[in-house]
């Protein structure tokens, strides 16, 4: 992973694209083994480089990096990956934050109710509330997707007329009033 990450930093676009494709192969081949604590730093560096390349202006490099991020989400267990991605959605670079939000949203959409509860639905909705007013539309769309997924999981067993009541109560208990309003608008819309 360290070699692939180092090669991604190369200014030659063709070499960079090839290393990104190698990263996809690494994700597909090793999956959850990459989340092992012994490889944690190398994995974090690789993900950060992919997010950086996905937010670049060079279209073919950007598209390949986005495919690699999709491959990463598809080949790994959602819960441990979500814990890794959570740190990236608060990155200072708004483009990296947006790409991380999309990957996080894709990860959340793969999760079952039990996994969501294990991670914490409150934490998920807080992440969505932070991203819903982001400057980039990609991050806002990802926040809406996360909020909708949490809503569906939370109100799955509730009666139709009680769903909004359950959702409103949950949002008000987990978020500050201004953030709760913005999240409530997503589901009502």
pLDDT tens column, 13-39:
999 999 999 999 999 999 999 999 999
Q: From CA 128, how far away is CA 89, in angstroms rounded?
A: 10
Secondary structure (3-state) at 156: coil
Residues in Cβ contact with 11 at an 8 Å cutoff, skipping those fewer than 6 apart: none
Tell me whether residue 120 is exposed, middle or buried, using C-beta atoms within 10 angstroms of its C-beta: 0 to 12, 13 to 18, 19 or more: exposed
On whether the CB atoms of residues 111 and 78 are closer than 8 A, the answer is yes
* pLDDT tens digits, one per residue of 40-79: 899 999 999 999 999 988 999 999 999 999 999 999 999 9
Q: What is the pTM of this model?
A: 0.94
H or E stretch at 148 = helix 137-154
């Amino acid at each position: 992973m360290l070699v692939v990450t180092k090669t991604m930093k190369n200014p030659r676009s063709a070499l960079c694209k090839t290393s990104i494709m190698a990263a996809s192969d690494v994700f597909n081949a090793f999956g959850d083994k990459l989340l092992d604590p012994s490889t944690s730093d190398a994995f974090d560096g690789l993900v950060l480089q992919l997010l950086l390349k996905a937010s670049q202006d060079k279209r073919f490099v950007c598209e390949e990096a986005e495919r690699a991020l999709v491959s990463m989400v598809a080949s790994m267990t959602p819960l441990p990956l979500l814990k890794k991605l959570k740190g990236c959605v608060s990155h200072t670079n708004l483009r990296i934050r947006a790409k991380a939000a999309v990957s996080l949203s894709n990860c959340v959409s793969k999760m079952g109710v039990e996994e969501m509860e294990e991670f914490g639905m409150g934490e998920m909705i807080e992440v969505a509330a932070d991203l819903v007013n982001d400057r980039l539309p990609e991050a806002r769309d990802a926040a809406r997707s996360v909020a909708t997924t949490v809503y569906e999981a939370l109100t799955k067993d509730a009666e139709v007329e009680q769903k909004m009541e359950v959702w409103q109560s949950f949002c008000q208990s987990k978020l500050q009033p201004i953030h709760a309003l913005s999240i409530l608008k997503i589901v009502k819309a």
